[in-house]
Amino acid sequence: MGTFTHISNDVERKFEDQEVITESKAITAADSGKTFLVSGTGYTITLPVTTAGVNYKFKVVAAFSTDMLIQTVSTERDTISGSVIVAGAVVDADAIDRVTFEDGAERIGDFIELSSDGSVWMLSGNGAQSSSITVGEL
């Protein structure tokens, strides 16, 4: 019979800072670094003004009955750029205002990430189903 030796170190482990969102909300720079878990009836999340280093992640954790929208604040339109992979295809986002998780197409685990350099929001993410994540103008 073998001997099991457990070796540990003094490294501090950090858990992901998560918040469940089930209704419309304006998030702030103080929420930077959070992973927002989205579910329920569709709603709108409004981003703050672009600030260098601010970043967020949004993950679908349950199906919802209407679209869930993430949009720029009204004073900073056309500031989201990047791309998401949806059903294996790259969806380009070039100076857009909103990202939408589409009801009926969303799947648990679909996600987007947004990070800012102080002038734009840089977008990346993945959606399993065709049209599960769409991008566009308001």
Read off the pLDDT of residues 69-93 as tens digits, 9 standing for 90 and up. 999 999 999 999 999 999 999 999 9
- Residues near 49 by Cβ (< 8 Å), separated by ≥ 6? 73, 75, 76
Cα Rg, the chain, nearest whole Å: 17
Helix (H, G, I), strand (E, B) or coil at 54: coil
Count of the separate structural domains present in the chain:
1
Whether residue 87 is contained in a domain is answered as: yes
Number of Cβ within 10 Å of residue 59's Cβ equals 19
Whether residue 96 is contained in a domain is answered as: yes
Whether residue 65 is contained in a domain is answered as: yes
- Mean per-residue pLDDT, 86-112: 96
Read off the pLDDT of residues 42-58 as tens digits, 9 standing for 90 and up. 899 999 999 999 999 99
For residue 37, what is the domain's CATH number?
2.60.120
